[in-house]
Amino acid sequence: MPGPHPAVAATRQAVRDALTDRAALADPADTADTAPAELVLVACSGGPDSLALAAAAAFEVPRAGLRAGAVVVDHGLQPGSARVAADAGAACRSLGLAPVDVVRVDGAQGPALGPEGKARRARYDALGSAAQQHRAVAVWLGHTLDDQAEQVLLGLCRGSGTRSLSGMPRARGAYVRPFLALGRATTRAACEAQGLRPWKDPTNDDPAYLRNRVRRALADLDADLGPGLAPALARSAQLARQDADALDDLTARVRAQLGPAPWPARSAARSSRSSTESGRCNATAAVISSDVIPLAATPAYGYRFPRKASPVACRPARTL
């Protein structure tokens, strides 16, 4: 008996990997009122990526002893969006997913949020509410390798730092991206092989949206520079994430060694030498002319040097 289409097999393998990855399922003990882990929700727009994910989840999740459901978010941003959302919900139900919620949202409000940012904020609010309501252990998102490459290219255009260039994580809290190593060509082929009819979002071709311009630029660069650009950018994101995580870990270690602030410069330099001698580069110690180092806290990187500070020299870490 022949096996599934190669693209279908690839999507199912990605889902199996997510199920066996300990980071892919939230620990029910993290939330006091969470029921025993049993439900995984797929965020499905009806497009090829999320529809292929829904199909793979419907096939694999029950075999792992869990249930698979779906959430369809209708942003109401274009005519006929309610019908598109209803069709996506019906497709998920036909695959055997349950429960399937179709949720209508309005754009979220917030400072400096454009149309894309408002839609994203509202979508994640709806997904989080659905996960809480159904006591789900994970919410799976259909982002692919191509989405990751676009995210990195967007960061480069903005002159972003290491953390931003690391792109989207495979898992963060209850949110998991099983397809982050698969390309869009695979998800589209998987839909075609299974007779699924994904919805083509007309706004994906609208140059008014920055993400669409980045997508078009990436396709042009791939054509000019040769194939393999998207996987290369995704690989760079993975390396940048490893570097950023290592620096954050070193920051936390040195911060613990220094004790409560304020920190005398001599103590910081001693901590730096200790870290350097052990083969690790101290990313936080600094020496300035004053007796105290007022390192400023930042949510993304932990700590940064004030303008008058300069990093203590240290040799590269052999383990990074």
Question: What gap in Å lies between CA 290 and CA 217, rounded to an integer?
Answer: 48
User: Are the C-beta atoms of residues 207 and 136 closer than 8 Å to each other?
Assistant: no
Residue 298: pLDDT band by 50, 70, 90 thresholds? very low
Q: Is the pLDDT of residue 273 over 70?
A: no
Angstrom distance (rounded) from CA 265 to CA 31? 41
Burial tier of 209 (Cβ tally within 10 Å: 0-12, 13-18, 19+): middle
Is there a single domain that holds both residue 182 and residue 75? yes
Instruction: Tell me: pLDDT of 149 over 50.
Output: yes
The predicted model scores a pTM of 0.77
Whether 46 and 87 have beta carbons less than 8 Å apart is answered as yes
Domain co-membership, 220 together with 243: no
Are residues 268 and 220 part of one domain?
Answer: no
In a domain, 317, yes or no: no
Q: Which helix (H) or strand (E) holds 171?
A: strand 171-172
What SS3 class is residue 209? coil
| CATH number, domain containing residue 67 | 3.40.50.620
Shared domain for 153 and 286, answered yes or no, is: no
Model pLDDT, residue 25: 54
Range in 5-9, 194-198, 279-283 the model is least confident about: 279-283
Long-range contacts (CB closer than 8 Å, 24 or more residues apart) made by 12-17: 12/56, 12/59, 12/60, 14/56, 14/178, 14/179, 14/181, 14/182, 15/53, 15/56, 15/57, 15/59, 15/60, 15/61, 15/178, 16/60, 16/64, 17/178
Residue 57 vs residue 30, higher pLDDT: 57
Classify residue 210: in a domain, yes or no. Answer: yes
Does residue 320 fall inside a structural domain? no
Decide which of 203, 227, 251 is a domain's last residue.
227
Domain that holds residue 126: 6-227
- Measured CA to CA, the distance from residue 309 to residue 107 in angstroms comes to 42
The answer on 77 and 37 residing in a single domain is yes
Does the structure show a pLDDT above 50 at 223? yes
Res 119: pLDDT: 84
In a domain, 99, yes or no: yes
Single out the residue in 199, 227, 255 at which a domain terminates. 227
Residue 282, pLDDT above cutoff 50: no
- The answer to whether residue 104 is domain-embedded is yes
pLDDT of 57 over the 90 cut: yes
Q: Are residues 271 and 147 in the same domain?
A: no
